[in-house]
Amino acid sequence: MADVLKVRADSVPKKVAGALAAIIREEGTAEVQAVGAGAVNQAVKAIAVARGYVAQNGFDLMCAPGFTDLKIDDADRTAIKFVVYKR
Amino acid sequence: MADVLKVRADSVPKKVAGALAAIIREEGTAEVQAVGAGAVNQAVKAIAVARGYVAQNGFDLMCAPGFTDLKIDDADRTAIKFVVYKR
């Protein structure tokens, strides 16, 4: 699987969407990770925008959200991980 | 399609997940709507938790996020709409 796309609260959804669409076209699947409500919101917007991008290639995207544990600055954090699929 | 599940920033993900799992078992698909980062975050958590609930029934969930326009207190707001599918 390709690198994990890490989304932050100040990430620009259109840019993330462009990167996401590129990975999906190449690999067929991608992983998006976000910690905190602001980041999760940007990640969801990015996936929504990316659906429009890949529609030009004749397919759609679906995602399966889940939880994953991370260590950030030595603290345990729970991130949301979206596995994004071609559909 | 069943009623739209409206999620707020103070919604409890487990409760929303229970309602979502029930709709999916009955209808096979559901719609979850959220306005604002806090609400979108709770909606995503609810979908993640609901995946665990329906796993007991032998299937998984996927969602397709999109944008939808709402009028709230006479103001135009953009909501995130998740169409959730059995998989």
- pLDDT, tens only, A4-23: 999 999 999 999 999 999 99
Does the beta-carbon distance from A65 to B64 stay under 8 Å? no
Q: Which residues, other chains included, contact B67 with Cβ-Cβ below 8 Å and sequence gap of 6+?
A: A45, A48, B78, B79, B80, B81
Partners of residue B44 in chain A, C-beta under 8 Å = 40, 44, 65, 80
β-strands A75-86, B29-34: how paired? unpaired
Does the beta-carbon distance from A47 to B41 stay under 8 Å? no
| pTM for the whole structure | 0.94
Give B67→chain A minimum CA distance, Å. 7
Nearest to B63 by CA among B37, B76, B39, B44: B44
Nearest to A66 by CA among B9, B66, B52: B52
Partners of residue B62 in chain A, C-beta under 8 Å = 62-64, 85, 87
Query: What ipTM was reported for this prediction?
Result: 0.93
Nearest to B32 by CA among B70, B71, B2: B2
For B24-52, the pLDDT digits (tens) are 999 999 999 999 999 999 999 999 999 99
Indicate whether B2 pLDDT > 70.
Answer: no
